[in-house]
Structure 1
Amino acid sequence: MTEEDTEEIVGRDELTTTADYGTNQCRNTEETVPTASTCCPRPIKLTWRPVTVEPVMFLVMFSLALNVPLSTQYVWDRIGEDLGFNGSRSSGCSNESLSLDPVAKEVEILSVNWNLYITVGQYSVAMVLVPLLGSWSDLAGRRPVLIISNLGMAIQAVVNLLVLYLKLPVFYLLLARILSGLTGDFVAAMAICYSYVADVSDQRSRTFRVAILEACRAVSAMLASVLGGKWAQADGYIKPFWMVLVMNLATVFYVYLFVPETMVPIPGAKLFSLRHYRAVWQLLSSGGGAAAAAGRRTRTRLWLYLLSYLIVLVVHTGSFSLYVLYELSAPLCWSSSLIGYGLALLNLTSLIGLLALKVTQRCLEESWVALMGLVSNVAGLLVFSMANTTGLMFTGYALCFLYMTTSPVLTSKMSKLLGPLEQGALFATIACVSSLSHLVGYSLFNWLFAATLHLMKGFSFLFAVALLLIPSGIIGVLKCIDQRRERGAG
C-alpha cells in the first residue's frame, strides 16, 4: 500500500485541523459546559494508527451475534420443555405440509411474545441512557463509555449463565437485558465506535472508515453465527454463553490498554445531567452549530436522513428477529447448525457488499450506492416472503448482498453535516434512533408475525418491502435536488 492510499483511507487532514475548528465553534456556542472548568472540550490530535476501535466493534458484535440467536433458541426450547412439547424441531415438518399440532403452535407464539418482552425491556432502558452516555463522551472522553457498556454486557452474560445453570424462569433473561440496557448495552458501544471514527477521519475518508466498522460487524457476526450454531448443537448452550462473557471482558481490557483517547476530558463532567438531553435536543431542533450556519436546508436534510436511517434499521432489526423463528418452525424446521450457516451467509454477503461500496464509490455517488443497497434488500425480502424450502432461504440471503451499504452511507452523510464537537451528540442521537428502531422493529415485526401466522407466514417480509419504499424515495429525491442545484450553479 502506498502513502497516497494510506492518506486516502485515513485522511490526516482532519487530525491537524480538528482542534482549531473546535476552538472556533466553542466561541460561537451560547451554552457553556457546566463544569468547574470553563474551557471547551476539544479533540486530541492523534498520530495515525491503522487500527483503533475496529477490534472493539468486532468483539462487541461477536458476543452479540453469539448471544441473541442462542437466546432466542433457548427460549424456544425452554418453553417447549415447560409445556411438555416432546416433539423435536423436525417433528411434523415437511415441505408438503404446513400444519403444526396445537402445542407446537403455542410454543411458537409464546416464544415470539417472550422474545418481544425481552427486547422491549432492553431497548426501552437503553433509549433513556444512550443519549446521556453519547453526549457525556464529548466531555469525559470516548473510553469510559466503551468500558461501562461492555461491563454491562458482561453482567448480562453472568445472569444468562445463572439462568442456564439454575434453570431459572425465562423472566430472568429479561432482567439480564434490562441490566445491560442500564449501561447502554451494545448500542452505546457501537455509537462510541462511530464517534471515535468521526474523530480521527476527514469527510473524504469517513464513509469508508464507517464501512470498515460495518465490515467488522459482518465478519464477527458471520464467525459467531457458524460457531454458535455448531457449538450449541454439539455441547448445548452453556459453553457458548461462557464465550460471550469472555468476549465482553476481553473488550474491556483492550479498550483500557490499547485505545487512546480522542477527546480532552473535562474534570467534573457529570453523567447524569439534563445538559446531555439538551445537547441532543439542540441538535435535532436547530441542526447543530454547523447546520445552523448553513441554514434551514441542512437541518431538514438531517431530519430526512434520520428518518431514512430509522426505517432502514426497523426493517433490518425486525426482519432479522424473524429469521430464526421463521427457520425453527414448519416447513423449514432448521437445526441450530443450519441456522448458523444461514446467518453466516447473510453476514458474508453483507461483507461482500461493503467491499463493493469502496469500489462503487469511485464511479457512483454515495446516494446511488445507498439505493442499490435498498434494491438488494427488497429482492431478498421478497424471496423470504415465499420461502418454503432451504434453497429459497439461502437464495434470499444471497440476494441481500448489498443491503448493508445503505446504513453507512446515511451515517456518513449525517456526520458530514456537523462539526467535530457535535459528533458525540450526533451519534448519541443515532444510537437513540437505533434503540428506537430495535424497539419498534422487534415489537412490530414479532407482533405482525404472530398475528398473521395463520393467514400468511411471510406477510411480515412483504410489509418490510413496503417500508423500504420510503427511504428509497427520500434518498432519490434529495439526490435529484442536488443534481438540479448543481446544474443551476453551473
Structure 2
Amino acid sequence: MKRLYLVEPVVAIYSFASFMVYPLVQQYVYRRLWQELTNTTYPVVDTSGCANNSSNHSSQYEEVERAASLFSLYIELSSLIPALVVTLLLVAYSDHRGRRLTILSPLVGSLLYTVSLLAICFFELNLYLIVAVSFVSALFGSWGTLLGGCFSYVADVSEDGKQKTQRMAAVDMVIGVLSGAASVSTGYFLRATGFSWPFFTASLLHSANLLYVLFVLEETVKVPESAGVHEGPPRVPMLKLLSGVCRLFASADRRRNALLVLLLLTFTVYSFCDIGTMSLVTLYELSEPLCWNEILIGYGAALSTTSFLTSFAGVALLSHCLPNLPIVLIGLLSIMTGLAMTAFAKTTLLMFLVRVPMALAIMPAPVLRSMMSKIASKSEQGALFACVAFLQTLSTSVAFITFSSLYAVTVAWFPGFCFLVAAGLCLIPMALMGVVGVLGSSEAVETEALISGEEMDGQHATPPPRLRNKGNSSSSGASA
C-alpha cells in the first residue's frame, strides 16, 4: 500500500475528537460539582438567561463556578510537567528517529484519556480520578507534542517559504474548522445521549487516527540502517536531544539568534494571551448574566472557529502584498480588540458579535512558525518545533493557571477582568515585533540562515517524491 505525505487528516481527526472532549469535561465537572455542592439536580435550561435565579441561586452559581475553575486548575497542574518534558524530548527526538513517533505517542495518550473519561462518567466514579488520568495521559505527550511533530512534518515537505507559511496556516484552519464542527455537534450530542456516547465517539476517532498514522502516513526522516547497527539502542537520548536544542542557537550568528529569540518570545506571549484565555470562555458563558446552555455554547464555539477560516484567507491574501511583520501586528490587534470586547459582553447577541473583531486573531501563529522555521536548517526543524511546542505548552498552561486563579477571585465582582488583562498583555508581542523590525531586513537574515543551514545539513528530512525529483535545484532555489 502506497503511503501518503498528508499530515492534515491526523490534525483534523485529532482536533475534532479533542474539541469534542474539552467542553464536555468542563460541563461534566460543572454538573457534578453542582450536584455535590448544592444537593440539587443541575438546572437544564432551553434558552440563555438567568431570569429565574433568586439571589440565593445566584450565590450557588458563584460557588460552583469558583469550584469548577479551581478543579480545572488541578487538572492543568497535574498534566503540566509531564507534558512539557515529553514534548521537548519527543519533538527534538524526531530529528533523529522520525516524525511519526512524535505524532503517535500523544494519540495513544488521548485514547487512554477518553476511555478513562468514559469509565468515570458511565460508572460515576470519583471526580478526582480525572486529575490522575490527566497526569497519566500527559506522560504520552500533549496537544503541543502532536502539533510540534505535525509542523515539523509540514516543514519537511514544503518546497519554499511561501508554501511553508500557507500550509502551516492551512493546518491552523483545519484545527479551527474541525473544532467548530465538534463544538456544534457536541451540544446536540450531549443533550440527546448524555456524556457517555460523546466520550465513546472520541475514543473511536483516536483509534482511527492511530491506524492512519501506523499504516498510511509516510515518514519524512529516513534513518540509515547502518545507524541502528552502530549505535544500537538509543542509550543516551536525553544528552543527544539537549545538544540538538543547544546547537539550534550555537550554530548561528548573534543576529539570527536575536531574531529567533524575539520570535519565540512573541509566539509565547501571543499563546499566553490567546489560547490561554480560551479555556475560560465556557465558564464565562455558563455564568451570569449569560447562563448559556450546551447548545448556545456549541454555537458560540463554532462561530469562534470562523476566525481560523478568515485568518487563513488573510494570510493567503496579505502574504502577496505585505511582509510578515505587519501581518503579525494586524493579528495581534485583532485578538486585543476581541478580548477587550469580551470583557464587557453581557448579552447573548454581544457575545456572538465578539467574534467579528477577532476574525484575524489566528494569523500570528502560522506566520511566526513559518518565520522561525525559515531561519533553521532542515536538521534543526525538530529541535526548533520542540522549543516552540514546549513554550506554547508552558505559556498556555501558565496562562490557564493564572487566569483560572484570577477568575476565581474576580468572578463575584467582574467576570471579564481576565480578558481585559489578556488584552493589555497583547501590547508586549506588539513591542517585540517592533524590535524585530528595528533589527533590519529580517527577510535577508532568514534567507542567509536557511541557505547556510542547508549546507550544514547532515541528517535531513526526506521530502516527498515530487520534491526529490527536483534534486538540488529545489533547495538552492527555495526562498524565504
Q: Label 1:243 to 1:321 Cα distance change in 2 as closer, same or farther (>3 A).
A: same
* Alignment match, 1:332: 290
Residue type of the partner of 1:361?
A: S
Q: Label 1:63 to 1:80 Cα distance change in 2 as closer, same or farther (>3 A).
A: same
* Alignment match, 1:353: 311
Is residue 341 of structure 1 aligned with residue 299 of structure 2? yes
1:275 offset after TM fit, Å?
A: 1.9
* Alignment match, 2:200: 242
Is residue 158 of structure 1 aligned with residue 128 of structure 2? no
Contact 1:187–1:435 (CA<8 Å) still a contact in 2? yes
Distance across 1 between alignment mates of 2:117 and 2:272: 26
Contact 2:269–2:429 (CA<8 Å) still a contact in 1? yes
Q: Which moved more, 1:197-206 or 1:333-342?
A: 197-206
1:479 offset after TM fit, Å?
A: 2.1
Residue type of the partner of 1:88?
A: P
Distance across 1 between alignment mates of 2:235 and 2:383: 13
Contact 2:245–2:383 (CA<8 Å) still a contact in 1? no
1:101 offset after TM fit, Å?
A: 3.2
1:477 offset after TM fit, Å?
A: 2.9
User: C-alpha offsets along residues 230-284 of structure 1, whole Å, 9 cap, x if unaligned?
Assistant: 111221111111111011111111111211111113524538732255235405x
Matches for 1:5-84 after TM superposition, within 5 Å: 52-83=6-37, 84=39
Is residue 88 of structure 1 aligned with residue 52 of structure 2? no
Is residue 233 of structure 1 aligned with residue 196 of structure 2? no
User: C-alpha offsets along residues 446-489 of structure 1, whole Å, 9 cap, x if unaligned?
Assistant: 11111111232111011001111000111133124425999xxx
User: C-alpha offsets along residues 133-191 of structure 1, whole Å, 9 cap, x if unaligned?
Assistant: 11111111111222222111101111101101111122111122112110112221111
* Alignment match, 2:216: 258
* Alignment match, 2:243: 279
* Alignment match, 1:123: 80
Contact 2:332–2:364 (CA<8 Å) still a contact in 1? yes
1:130 offset after TM fit, Å?
A: 1.0
Residue type of the partner of 2:33?
A: I
1:376 offset after TM fit, Å?
A: 0.9
Distance across 1 between alignment mates of 2:443 and 2:163: 24
Q: Label 1:423 to 1:484 Cα distance change in 2 as closer, same or farther (>3 A).
A: closer
Distance across 2 between alignment mates of 1:98 and 1:79: 19
1:429 offset after TM fit, Å?
A: 1.0
Contact 1:380–1:400 (CA<8 Å) still a contact in 2? yes
Contact 1:192–1:427 (CA<8 Å) still a contact in 2? yes
* Alignment match, 1:212: 170
1:383 offset after TM fit, Å?
A: 1.1
User: C-alpha offsets along residues 427-455 of structure 1, whole Å, 9 cap, x if unaligned?
Assistant: 11111111101211110111111111123
Contact 1:314–1:437 (CA<8 Å) still a contact in 2? yes
Residue type of the partner of 1:55?
A: P
Contact 1:135–1:276 (CA<8 Å) still a contact in 2? no
Q: Secondary structure at the match of 1:101?
A: helix
Distance across 1 between alignment mates of 2:117 and 2:275: 22
1:96 offset after TM fit, Å?
A: 11
Q: Label 1:85 to 1:182 Cα distance change in 2 as closer, same or farther (>3 A).
A: same
Contact 2:49–2:290 (CA<8 Å) still a contact in 1? no
Residue type of the partner of 1:270?
A: P
Q: Scaled by the length of structure 2, what TM-score is found? A: 0.86
Contact 1:158–1:245 (CA<8 Å) still a contact in 2? yes
Contact 2:307–2:362 (CA<8 Å) still a contact in 1? no
Q: Secondary structure at the match of 1:362?
A: coil
Q: Label 1:302 to 1:271 Cα distance change in 2 as closer, same or farther (>3 A).
A: farther
Residue type of the partner of 1:136?
A: Y
Give unpaired runs (5+ residues) of structure 2.
445-480
Q: Select 1:401's aligned residue among 359, 362, 369.
A: 359
Residue type of the partner of 1:279?
A: S
Q: Secondary structure at the match of 1:170?
A: coil
Contact 1:279–1:425 (CA<8 Å) still a contact in 2? no
Q: Label 1:391 to 1:415 Cα distance change in 2 as closer, same or farther (>3 A).
A: same
Distance across 2 between alignment mates of 1:341 and 1:97: 27
1:367 offset after TM fit, Å?
A: 1.2
**Identity within the alignment, %:** 33
User: C-alpha offsets along residues 91-114 of structure 1, whole Å, 9 cap, x if unaligned?
Assistant: 981499998533322111110000
Contact 1:352–1:402 (CA<8 Å) still a contact in 2? yes
Q: Label 1:472 to 1:92 Cα distance change in 2 as closer, same or farther (>3 A).
A: closer
Is residue 224 of structure 1 aligned with residue 182 of structure 2? yes
Residue type of the partner of 2:43?
A: S
1:288 offset after TM fit, Å?
A: 4.8
Distance across 2 between alignment mates of 1:151 and 1:300: 37
Residue type of the partner of 2:249?
A: G
Q: Secondary structure at the match of 2:418?
A: helix
Contact 2:113–2:134 (CA<8 Å) still a contact in 1? yes
* Alignment match, 2:457: none
Q: Secondary structure at the match of 1:404?
A: coil
Q: Which moved more, 1:86-95 or 1:373-382?
A: 86-95
* Alignment match, 1:17: none
1:69 offset after TM fit, Å?
A: 0.8
Contact 1:118–1:174 (CA<8 Å) still a contact in 2? yes
Contact 1:146–1:252 (CA<8 Å) still a contact in 2? no
Distance across 2 between alignment mates of 1:472 and 1:95: 44
Distance across 1 between alignment mates of 2:210 and 2:432: 39
Contact 1:386–1:458 (CA<8 Å) still a contact in 2? yes
Give unpaired runs (5+ residues) of structure 1.
1-46
* Alignment match, 1:453: 411
Q: Label 1:253 to 1:485 Cα distance change in 2 as closer, same or farther (>3 A).
A: closer
Q: Label 1:276 to 1:324 Cα distance change in 2 as closer, same or farther (>3 A).
A: farther
Contact 2:436–2:442 (CA<8 Å) still a contact in 1? no
Is residue 180 of structure 1 aligned with residue 123 of structure 2? no
* Alignment match, 2:454: none
Is residue 169 of structure 1 aligned with residue 126 of structure 2? yes
Q: Select 2:263's aligned residue among 292, 300, 305.
A: 305
Contact 2:3–2:216 (CA<8 Å) still a contact in 1? no
Distance across 2 between alignment mates of 1:484 and 1:377: 24
Q: RMSD value over aligned CA atoms?
A: 2.3
Distance across 1 between alignment mates of 2:174 and 2:396: 20
Contact 2:177–2:308 (CA<8 Å) still a contact in 1? no
Q: Label 1:276 to 1:338 Cα distance change in 2 as closer, same or farther (>3 A).
A: farther
User: C-alpha offsets along residues 268-317 of structure 1, whole Å, 9 cap, x if unaligned?
Assistant: 4538732255235405xx6253xx1xx10111111111111111111122
Is residue 146 of structure 1 aligned with residue 103 of structure 2? yes
Residue type of the partner of 1:152?
A: G
* Alignment match, 2:66: 109
* Alignment match, 2:423: 465
* Alignment match, 2:374: 416
Q: Scaled by the length of structure 1, what TM-score is found? A: 0.84
